[in-house]
Structure 1
Amino acid sequence: MFFLFSLSCTNKDQVENSGVLGLLNAGSGTPEYFEFSNEAVNLNYKTYGDAKSSQDQKLIKESYLVFETGDIDKSYSNIVAVIKKYNGYIQDDSAEKDYYRIIRRLTVRIPTANFQNTIDDVSKNVEYFDTKQTTLRDVTEEFIDLEARLKAKKELEKRYLELLKKAKNVQELLEVEKELSHIREEIEAKQGRLKYLENKVSLSSINIEFYKTNSESKVTKSYGSKMWNAIVSGFDGLSTFFLGILYIWPFIIILIIVFFIIKRWLKKRKKNEANSKK
Structure 2
Amino acid sequence: MKNYFYSLLLVFSIISCKNDASSEASEDRFMSVQLPAKEINYNAVAVDSAAVALEEPSSNTSDDGLDKIKPQIIKNGDLRFETEDLEKTYETVQNAVKKNSGNIQNDNEGKDYQTHFRNLTIRIPSKNFDAFIKEISTGVNYFDRKEISSEDVTEEYIDVASRIKTKKALEERYLELLKKATKVSEMLEVERQLSEIREEIESKEGRLKYIKNRVSMSTITLEIYKTDAEKSGATVSFGSKIVNAIKSGFNAISTFFIWLIEIWPFIVILVAIIYFVKKRFKKKTQKDV
Indicate the SS of the match to 2:141: coil
Partner of 2:189: 175
Q: Are the counterparts in 2 of residues 19 and 156 from structure 1 also a CA contact under 8 Å?
A: no
Tell whether the 8 Å contact from 1:66 to 1:208 is kept in structure 2 after alignment.
yes
Map 1:189-268 to 2 at 5 A: 189-219=203-233, 220=241, 227-228=249-250, 230-232=252-254, 234-235=256-257, 243-248=265-270, 251-267=273-289
Aligned counterpart, 2:37: none
Q: Is the 8 A contact 1:103 1:212 kept in 2?
A: yes
Give the structure with higher Rg (CA): 1
Q: Provide the residue aligned with 2:61 in structure 1.
A: 48
Cα distance in 1, alignment partners of residues 189 and 244 from structure 2: 76
What secondary structure is seen at the aligned counterpart in 2 of 1:137?
strand
Tell me if structure 1 keeps the 8 A contact 2:126–2:216.
yes
Paired residue for 1:129, among 130, 143, 146? Answer: 143
Deviations along 1:186-218, one digit per CA (max 9) or x if unpaired, are: 111111110111011111112222122234354
In the alignment, is the contact (CA less than 8 A) between 1:19 and 1:42 conserved in 2? no
Deviations 1:47-71 (A, max 9, x none): 2389776543221110011111122
- Which residue, out of 24, 27, 33, partners 1:14? 27
Q: CA RMSD in A?
A: 3.7
C-alpha spacing 1:208/1:251, structure 2 compared with 1 (3 Å): closer
C-alpha separation between the residues in 1 aligned to 2:228 and 2:257? Answer: 30
TM-score by length of 1: 0.73
Q: 1:71 aligns with which of 85, 92, 104?
A: 85
2:149 pairs with 1:144: no
Give the one of 151, 173, 182 matched to 1:159: 173
Q: Percent identity?
A: 38
Structure 1 gaps, min length 5: 21-29, 35-39, 268-278
Aligned counterparts, 1:111-126, within 5 A: 111-126=125-140
Distance in 2 separating the partners of 1:33 and 1:172: 17
Aligned pair count reads 252
